[in-house]
Chain A
Amino acid sequence: MPLVRVHDVSQVFANGVRALAGASLDIEAGEFLSVLGPSGCGKSTLLRLIAGLAEPTAGSIDWPEGRPDLGFVFQEPTLMPWTTALANVALPLKLRGVARSEREARAAEALAGVGLQGFEKSYPRELSGGMKMRVSIARALVTAPKLLLMDEPFAALDEITRRRLNTDLLELWQRTRFTAVFVTHSVFESVFLSQRIVVMSARPGRVRSELAIPAPYPRSEAFGTSADYAALCRLASAQLSEAMAA
């Protein structure tokens, strides 16, 4: 049984824009899934619908085993600038009424988990773009969610930082085994990270095709330079072109 069943979901905004038209998708528990598509294909809308931040115009989103705890990582770090990294990470726990000492301990642990030990008292403006994104990921993971939704989290970062974060994200995923849904417009990123790629077409968005990435984990930098990787990227790229032409 899948963790989430997105069934024939359509979304029309108040201004008449059709973001999604009959998108269907099953997400299995524990998998690393990438949603690949051009800008404006409704990927972000799909993610917001799964998160429950919006209601679909038509169709349904079902949780066969009940709606689990979930975390959300936005395109920008989306941190509160007026408080420390630790307080930012502790925010979800605070909003759920966890006592101060416990939430600070758990937040510190989550920060250490993304490699930011020693930066607890830093303010967001004192951190680099990549570090801010790490704080954002730590915040999403601090509640130990079963499902982590990520909306092009590394799109605004430079290539080198991005690669580091990709590797570290995979390592986190292997360690804690949450279900990951990663929205991106980068073929390379989606192939490197995921077990399965769902390719979407634009305006209105729907799921066009699917691609399995059978490479084993842990995936290192070596995987990113292998012939297998290149072949899979070509395949994904072809599917993306097809989806965009359709």
Chain B
Amino acid sequence: MSARILAPLLMGLFMLVLWEGLVRAMAIPPYILPGPILVAKTLVSDWGTLWPALIVTLTITLQALLAAVVVGVLLALLFSLSRWIELSLFPYAIILQVTPIVAIAPLIIAWVDDVNVSLLICAWLVAFFPILSNTVLGLRSVDRNLLDLFELYGASRWRTLLDLRLPAALPYFLGGLRISGGLALIGAVVAEFVAGSGGRESGLAYRILESGYQLKIPRMFAALVLISAAGIAIYGLLSLVSHLLLRRWHESALGEG
């Protein structure tokens, strides 16, 4: 095993042991800070509640990510076709991006009847911008000479898009996708928090809120662990997809094999 894997693994193990040791040595009660062993036990014993909650949150995350890909890429294509559309719409995309989601989430939840849909909109709002801006950048980063070459051989706009602009934009898009994957999860969790007790009682964020009210702190930690694990899994999966797609040709995927 290489140092790249071993070092963080040992560090993590050390932190866990330290944590457990401190909790025991100082006799910290579990409702203040549960030790990692108790958290792990709770994760197993409360699996029946936590697992369905995780599925609910993950479903919203993935739906939001999918919507972000579709809308982000379509908008980016539209922007690349018309400078005017880009000039008139891009500032609003930026405004949407810089407005904190916690600030708009209550509005969206109030306006949209279906809680599911409102959560989806929140997560999507957070996730779509990196895909949009990266894809726009990628579509613009096409080699000028290759564009000339396509023109020289009389390629149609459609052919140029398909055979030149899209492949050239792929690494940028995938970079955006990796960021958006994590953001979609954050968006989903934040929206669930805001929807809170008024919303439906099923997502992981709701489980955290509920555990807080009931002082079931070990369960709160267990839910947190699940959210982190989900985030890491999403990032890892998207990185893998990116690596598989780019490994033959792009600098970013080289030098790892």
Do these two chains interact? yes
Q: Which A positions have Cβ atoms within 8 angstroms of B? A: 48, 51-53, 70, 72, 74, 76, 78, 80-83, 91-92, 94-96, 123-125, 143
Q: How far is the CA of A95 from the CA of B149 in the complex (A)?
A: 10
Overall SS of chain A's interface: loop
Q: How far is the CA of A96 from the CA of B150 in the complex (A)?
A: 10
B152 touches A51 (CB 8 A): yes
A-binding segment of B78-86, B140-148, B176-184 = B140-148
Knowing A72-B148, A123-B248, say if A95 contacts B167 (CB, 8 Å).
no
Q: Which of B148, B153, B254 contacts A125 (CB 8 A)?
A: B254
Task: Determine the chain A residues whose CB is within 8 A of the CB of B153 once the complex forms.
Answer: 91-92, 95-96, 143
Q: How far is the CA of A122 from the CA of B125 in the complex (A)?
A: 42
Q: Mark B135-162, 1 if CB is under 8 A from A, else 0.
A: 0000000010110111111110001000
Indicate if B24 sits at the interface (CB-CB under 8 A).
no
Top 9 closest pairs, chain A to chain B, by CB:
A95-B153, A78-B145, A95-B155, A81-B249, A74-B145, A82-B167, A82-B249, A92-B153, A53-B148
Q: List 21 A-B contacts (CB under 8 A).
A: A51-B152, A52-B152, A53-B151, A70-B152, A74-B149, A78-B143, A78-B146, A78-B149, A80-B164, A81-B250, A82-B167, A82-B168, A82-B248, A91-B149, A92-B149, A92-B153, A95-B150, A95-B153, A95-B155, A95-B159, A95-B163
How many residue pairs between the two chains, A and B, have CB atoms under 8 Å in the bound complex?
52
- Which residue of B has the minimal Cβ distance to A94? B163
Knowing A52-B152, A72-B148, A95-B153, say if A124 contacts B163 (CB, 8 Å).
no
Knowing A78-B143, A80-B167, A94-B163, say if A72 contacts B249 (CB, 8 Å).
no
- Which residue of B has the minimal Cβ distance to A53? B148
A48, A78, A96 pick with most chain B CB within 10 angstroms = A78
- Which residue of A has the minimal Cβ distance to B160? A95
What is the number of residues of chain B that contact chain A, defined by CB distance less than 8 Å? 21
Q: How far is the CA of A124 from the CA of B170 in the complex (A)?
A: 17
Q: How far is the CA of A95 from the CA of B163 in the complex (A)?
A: 9
- Which residue of A has the minimal Cβ distance to B167? A82
- Which residue of B has the minimal Cβ distance to A151? B145
Given A72-B152, A83-B167, 4 more pairs with CB closer than 8 A: A72-B148, A74-B145, A81-B250, A83-B249
B151, B153, B170, B254 pick with most chain A CB within 10 angstroms = B153
A53 touches B152 (CB 8 A): yes
Q: How far is the CA of A156 from the CA of B164 in the complex (A)?
A: 24
Using a CB-CB cutoff of 8 Å, which residues 163-204 of chain B contact chain A?
A: 163-164, 167-168, 170
Q: How far is the CA of A91 from the CA of B163 in the complex (A)?
A: 9
A125 touches B152 (CB 8 A): no
B146 touches A96 (CB 8 A): no
A125 touches B249 (CB 8 A): yes
- How far, in Å, is B57 (CB) from chain A's closest CB? 36
Task: Determine the chain B residues whose CB is within 8 A of the CB of A92 once the complex forms.
Answer: 149, 153
Knowing A94-B163, A124-B249, A125-B249, say if A76 contacts B145 (CB, 8 Å).
yes
- Which residue of A has the minimal Cβ distance to B151? A53
- Which residue of A has the minimal Cβ distance to B146? A78
Q: How far is the CA of A91 from the CA of B146 in the complex (A)?
A: 11
- Which residue of A has the minimal Cβ distance to B153? A95
- How far, in Å, is A244 (CB) from chain B's closest CB? 27
Task: Determine the chain B residues whose CB is within 8 A of the CB of A96 once the complex forms.
Answer: 153-154
Q: How far is the CA of A124 from the CA of B250 in the complex (A)?
A: 10
A123 touches B249 (CB 8 A): yes
Q: How far is the CA of A108 from the CA of B220 in the complex (A)?
A: 63
- How far, in Å, is A103 (CB) from chain B's closest CB? 12
- How far, in Å, is B105 (CB) from chain A's closest CB? 40
Task: Determine the chain B residues whose CB is within 8 A of the CB of A82 once the complex forms.
Answer: 167-168, 170, 248-250
Q: How far is the CA of A91 from the CA of B143 in the complex (A)?
A: 15
- Which residue of A has the minimal Cβ distance to B171? A82
Task: Determine the chain B residues whose CB is within 8 A of the CB of A91 once the complex forms.
Answer: 149, 153, 163
Q: How far is the CA of A4 from the CA of B152 in the complex (A)?
A: 17
B164, B168, B248, B250 pick with most chain A CB within 10 angstroms = B248
Task: Determine the chain B residues whose CB is within 8 A of the CB of A124 once the complex forms.
Answer: 249
- Which residue of B has the minimal Cβ distance to A76? B145
